[in-house]
Structure 1
């Protein structure tokens, strides 16, 4: 750490300050020009004492006037999107990405726990266009989700969404998610297969594979993508308690 980090709890950063801010768990961490910050289990920004989390997972620093985020871990991938979820990158170990938006959302999972933090830039290189209103069935690119498919995602992401402002949540097993919906595990897995196939065709990485831990990995990856891309939000959670007839 360069000594350029200031922590400000409970306030919004000054938009006139030419700096980058990282928000996690309601705290704002400010980086000034030329500064740097490590993020992880034992880092400048301590995320959690989760043993599945790297001591240093991410590094944020200014290089030749451009803010850059690097994945300095060896195992975990990180989902990075613009604030509106219109653009997404999957930042694997050893990869780095310039931070050019006013708001960037970062989501990653270590073991059963998912974390979210946001990066705010006072002077972004690119301005984001105003989002267009969306009505009706959820559409992402050329993929349309049925109500029951959206329920699958919500059941898996519920704990993460309920912890809004805290930034962490455990991904349930398929059996727990099926029970939350009142479905059989067979029906849940069939719907999950359909959802993962749809997003895989869209180009979302990590939803297909032959690893022994594939069943767990795809649930984690689906939640990461859905939250980062704003496919599901906390406002959607009441759908989980609607009658089956209302969500068929």
Structure 2
């Protein structure tokens, strides 16, 4: 049975068979004790029947889970659980306007993710969906603070007006492009991006940022695309 290590901001938390580890505002791994939007205990890593599992024990927040190379992404809703089978797993989640990230490492794993192939031109192809240069630029603008976070482990998702101003766009153009990107990715099967009477725009943007970072749609090098 493999042991597991969680890495948050360089702090390492190691657990062995039969043990567990919690993540939240008042947990084994204290992500941010000043963010009231973060659950006291949000996520739990525990060993069951020979596998390590990541469980969402919160009631409101969701998490995006990716293998270390960005070839696999999953959305972990409240009450859900996923087996941790890769040598390196990255977990993203947003509480309020802040997006957080931590890494999980298995000492011994027999699974290897499929490596993603980067695009070679101004477009990005994800499955059957192709993003235009403007659509990718929008995603970079939304992810800018997270990409620039350095070793802080957290970044803020900007308001739509601020992101539109950053790009030199009108808010109407920004919202239209955002709708198009979310619709394309939703058609691909990415959850949490469709609007509705109970869907806040801020939640949709946060989910888009989590997915874009987890899927490696944008990287630090893409910051050069911004004006």
Q: Which of 80-89 and 40-49 deviates more?
A: 80-89
1:213 Cα deviation after fit: 4.8
Assess if the C-alpha contact under 8 Å between 2:69 and 2:115 holds in 1.
Answer: no
Inter-partner Cα distance in structure 1 for 2:118 and 2:223: 20
Matched residue, 1:216 = 202
Assess if the C-alpha contact under 8 Å between 2:71 and 2:116 holds in 1.
Answer: no
Inter-partner Cα distance in structure 1 for 2:178 and 2:197: 17
Q: 1:228 to 1:210 in 2, by over 3 A?
A: same
Assess if the C-alpha contact under 8 Å between 1:164 and 1:234 holds in 2.
Answer: no
Inter-partner Cα distance in structure 1 for 2:25 and 2:148: 23
Assess if the C-alpha contact under 8 Å between 2:46 and 2:52 holds in 1.
Answer: yes
For normalisation by structure 1, the TM-score amounts to 0.86
**Aligned-CA RMSD value:** 1.6
Whether 1:24 aligns to 2:2 is no
For normalisation by structure 2, the TM-score amounts to 0.94
Deviation sequence 1:180-236 (CA, Å, 0-9, x none): 111111111111111111101111111113135522121111111101111111121
Matched residue, 2:164 = 178
Assess if the C-alpha contact under 8 Å between 2:71 and 2:114 holds in 1.
Answer: no
* Count of matched residue pairs: 225
Match of 1:144 among 125, 130, 135: 130
- State the SS of the aligned residue for 1:53: coil
- State the SS of the aligned residue for 2:39: coil
Inter-partner Cα distance in structure 1 for 2:223 and 2:115: 25
Whether 1:88 aligns to 2:73 is yes
Assess if the C-alpha contact under 8 Å between 2:21 and 2:45 holds in 1.
Answer: yes
Inter-partner Cα distance in structure 2 for 1:170 and 1:132: 28
Inter-partner Cα distance in structure 2 for 1:207 and 1:119: 26
Matched residue, 2:97 = 112
Inter-partner Cα distance in structure 1 for 2:11 and 2:63: 21
Match of 1:45 among 29, 44, 65: 29
Unaligned regions of 5+ residues in structure 2, if any? none
Matched residue, 1:207 = 193
Higher-Rg structure is 1
Unaligned regions of 5+ residues in structure 1, if any? 1-16, 242-248
Matched residue, 1:35 = 19
Inter-partner Cα distance in structure 1 for 2:141 and 2:115: 30
Whether 1:103 aligns to 2:63 is no
Matched residue, 2:60 = 75
